[in-house]
Amino acid sequence: MQNLHRGSTEFTLRHQLDALPRTDRVTAQAVTLDRLGELAALARREIPGVRASEHELAEFLRHDPDSIFALYRGRNLLGGIAFLYLNCSGLDALLLDEFNLNDPPRRFLARPDEDVAAIYVWALVAQGRGAIGLGNVAQALQGAR
């Protein structure tokens, strides 16, 4: 009998954020308020249906400064990735489809000093080779918040 799952673990691991390699070609860092408008404009341009304004994203940064990372090549913005750090209630709500991803309730988000039950990739936009910087983001997520 043929093993239908042969290789499936390797495929899954290759597509996990944690398994992506680091690179020196692109830097990844928490976005700063002075670049947030540019990142928001890029997301609205490149991701269908995204309506997030600079003001709304700034609110998330105030709640958790490590929730949005920008990807750069030099000073050139290539993209970004936004995370929702969910507390236990947030994870339950997400699994039960009781979570509004267009306007995530703050009560479901872990505070920076609170344990995180899950990390949800809320949005991702990258131009050109910007996506290779995701390994750098993964490394940053492995450290303390």
pLDDT tens for residues 57-87?
898 888 888 899 999 999 999 999 999 999 9
Q: Are 70 and 31 in contact (CB under 8 A)?
A: yes
Determine the pLDDT at residue 10.
Answer: 52
Mean pLDDT score across all residues of the chain:
85
pLDDT tens for residues 6-45?
444 554 554 566 677 688 899 999 999 999 999 999 998 9
Domains annotated for the chain, with CATH where assigned, are 8-142 (3.40.630.30)
Residue in 54, 60, 55, 50 with CA at minimum distance from that of residue 84: 60
Q: CA dist 3 to 6, 12, 13, Å? A: 6, 16, 18
In the numeric block, the tokens 């239908």 are attached to: 4
**pLDDT band, very low/low/confident/very high, at 97 (cuts 50, 70, 90):** very high
Determine the pLDDT at residue 113.
Answer: 87
